[in-house]
Amino acid sequence: MSIQDILQTMDYGPAPEDSTIVRDWLARHEEGFGHFIGGAFTAPGETFEVQDPAKGETIARVSQGTASDVDAAVAAARKAQPAWAKLSGHERARHLYAIARHVQQHARFLAVLETIDNGKPIRESRDIDVPLVARHFYHHAGWAEIAGDEFGGTEPYGVCGQVIPWNFPLLMLAWKIAPALAAGNTVVLKPAEYTPLTAIAFAEICAEVGLPEGVVNIVTGDGETGAAIVGHEGIDKVAFTGSTEVGKTIRRQIAGSGKGLTLELGGKSPFIVFADADLDAAVEGVVDAIWFNQGQVCCAGARILVAEAVAGRFETLLRARMETLRTGDPLDKSTDVGAIVHPVQLARIRELVGQGKAEGVTLHQGHAPEGCFYPPTLATGVEPASVLSTEEIFGPVVTLTTFRTPADGIALANNTRYGLAASIWSENVNLCLDIAAQVKAGVVWINCTNVFDAGAGFGGYRESGFGREGGSEGMMAYLRHKTPDGPGADLPKPSSAPHGGGGTGGIDRTAKLYIGGKQARPDSGYSYTIEGPKGPVGLVGLGNRKDIRNAVEAAAKAGSWGKATGHNRAQVLYYLGENLSARADEFTARLESLGAPDAGGEVETAIRRCFWYAAQADKFDGKVHQTKSAHVTLAMHEPLGVLGIVCPTAQPLLGFISLVLPAIAMGNSVVAVPSQLGALAATDLYQVIETSDVPAGVVNIVTGPRDELARTLAQHDEVAGIWYIGGSEGARMVEAESAGNLKQTWTEGDGARDWSGAHGQNKGFLHRATQVKNIWVPYGE
């Protein structure tokens, strides 16, 4: 073909990447790879095949991790952890810096290996994945250096069990290992069985740089190996990236174990295009959003929502752009869309698209060769309830749906059980920021998409999981606030029979429930007795499942509280402290009747808590992250939503105040179950709440059997998080039942914490009451 012909067609010629060095390395390990445990590789055991998805060829054999392999890896990590944590921040930083340098020195090798193993185009491995891997280790070397200054009052978890997916094998490893090591933890990591090879190469780099033995351990295997790691009693913290279904299984598996947990799960992210958007730029954004990595991206912009006024023009431009995408050999530098990772995943894509076609959608497809490839696909005529709109396909398939008004667009965007990411396109930055605040997603990109950096947190809302990776919030996921530990006691079932113990003198007061700003009779029609050291003190309502449902409904209607300014919320909390102070003698008398050892001190500390959390309401700020050039990345603290709080038995007033106030200071509305044995201290607060301008529904109080009410809260899909202070079996139950909608949970043994001391008030409560939304805004372009 002549130069003239080439200039006429502008076709790409072949541009293959040389893979000789990588294939020679694989050939040298023809007998198979062992695990990396305690700073050395084990001999290969029972192995399974690893394939090149583009060619369908076996390229390696790796060992299937057994229970004994996991035991050995956890033991090595446990042995290494105390010494690793005792190193100065500077010494840990030097190790992380060395890893970053050697990742760069082996960058080409890692990029080629990743492409052969995973099927993604070499341009993505070379220009995106591997540079970000190095960036994460450099960034977290910095956090290791200054962690003592920035994260006071925290400590590492210990040994972290980490399970990563096959879509970004090396990058997900960096996201997990870098912050864990920077914080002083050691790790046992399992790569995906389809794509374990860059993890093995990374283990060789760890040995090459002289990382202390046992700090990083890599165990290969299938799902059984992963389950053995996360369920191992020697693991202190679990971090998992993968499907929502497996995330729920892990939540149930480790319930009640006391393990920390972060989950980065599935998504069905909206890609919202307004009428004034730069349509050409938005079309390129779609290419990055859904055809990057063959659409095998948890935050892929799989649902295009486009303003009706420009939908026709946008679809025309997009279909024309699809025709120019090149699907084929991932090692060719001119390839846009590579191979699907495995025939099993290809079959799933085909199955879901087939279901969509049966529903009547129209498919527009590009081109793809034979083998483990799938063409870029646009589905139009898609209803919001279609399987293509609701299910995570994890392939190069995108839907297009129109909307008329911004409110319609938001409704469609949030019409999903997920909440990982969103991309917003408009030349009106005011509109973009308004929509960013309303969309339920942990990451929002404005006029860009799939932009990542180690300096900004990544993670989702709802069933996309909880916890963040990257930035300061990612470091916090591997640190815990120092708190006392201790088992909680189970409580007897409340007695609803008349106690026959005589009256208390004065006019009888009936303590009802408090729901939606009003006192309400319990649905059961029963009350139960509150006992003091001198006998019965009074009766409170016996709340049940329906009362919790009513309280959650009232709390959900109080969502505007989260939109109030921090200053306005602070004023309400100050007023609450003022009114509590005015009735201090009354509350002191109540606590004395319940047998409180220091009733006056408990009331005074409760008043101080009101003022401390009022002060924090407008000062617990987000951040502006230093990320990529031409962007400002805003890390905004947002409330979880409806928060269920099950309060401690002892110190019934102070325990209630210490948990409810940080939650509402951050904009949550709460359904609180007060101390089962001292509930009258909380029911006396009704009038204080009513006279302190607390909006109806922000605080709801349901008295009754602690664990029965906690179970209902944990099962309720409108509840976004639950804090439980109680028995060990109750904690296990709460964590297991919360898996239904993946609530954020905090459980602790009743009686482990002294609520009157330093452990009863700190920023750890505020961290638990918030989630971070990272908003990427163009800046300086």
Active site (catalytic) residues: 264
Instruction: Show the DSSP H helices in 618-694 as ranges.
Output: 652-665, 680-683, 686-690
Which pair of tokens denotes residue 291? 């055809």
56, with CB counted inside 10 A (0-12, 13-18, 19+), is exposed
Q: How many CA atoms lie within 13 A of 187 on its CB side?
A: 28
Cα–Cα distance between 193 and 173 in angstroms, integer? Answer: 14
Amino acid in the structure at residue 717:
D
Which residues, in sequence order, are CB contacts of 507 under 8 Å at separation 6+? none
Cβ-contact 478, 156 below 8 angstroms: yes
Task: For residue 180, give Cα distances in angstroms to 46, 189, 199, 625, 752.
Answer: 30, 11, 16, 20, 27
Summarize the chain as % helix, strand, coil (round to 5): 45, 20, 35
Please state whether beta strands 303-307 and 362-365 pair in parallel, antiparallel, or not at all (unpaired).
unpaired
Residue 571 host element (H or E): helix 566-582
* DSSP state letter for 395: S
Cα–Cα distance between 760 and 753 in angstroms, integer? Answer: 7
Three state DSSP letters for 335-392: CCECCCCCHHHHHHHHHHHHHHHHCCCEEEECCCCCCCCCCCEEEECCCCCCHHHHCC
Which pair of tokens denotes residue 10? 């502008």
Task: For residue 173, give Cα distances in angstroms to 126, 293, 311.
Answer: 16, 17, 40
Which pair of tokens denotes residue 154? 């925290």
* DSSP state letter for 560: G
| List of long-range contacts for 688-691, beta carbons under 8 Å, 24+ apart | 688/576, 688/579, 688/580, 688/583, 689/514, 689/576, 690/517, 691/579
Cα–Cα distance between 167 and 176 in angstroms, integer? Answer: 14
Residue 541 host element (H or E): strand 535-541
Residue 5 host element (H or E): helix 3-9
The per-residue DSSP string of 122-156 comes to HHHIIIIIHHHHHHHHHHHHHHHHHHHHHSTTEEE
Q: How many CA atoms lie within 13 A of 188 on its CB side?
A: 37
Which residues, in sequence order, are CB contacts of 640 under 8 Å at separation 6+? 668, 720, 721, 744, 769, 770, 771
- Answer left, alpha or beta for residue 39, where phi above 0 means left and psi between -120 and 50 means alpha: left
Cβ-contact 115, 331 below 8 angstroms: yes
Helix 566-582 to helix 584-593 angle (10° resolution) is: 70
Query: Collapsing DSSP states into helix, strand and coil, what is residue 262?
Result: strand
Cα–chain center distance at 393: 20
Please state whether beta strands 216-218 and 186-190 pair in parallel, antiparallel, or not at all (unpaired).
parallel
* DSSP state letter for 423: E
Cα–Cα distance between 143 and 209 in angstroms, integer? Answer: 19
Which residues, in sequence order, are CB contacts of 379 under 8 Å at separation 6+? 353, 356, 361, 362, 363, 364, 388, 397, 398, 399, 400
If one counts every other C-beta atom within 10 angstroms of the C-beta of residue 574, the result is 17
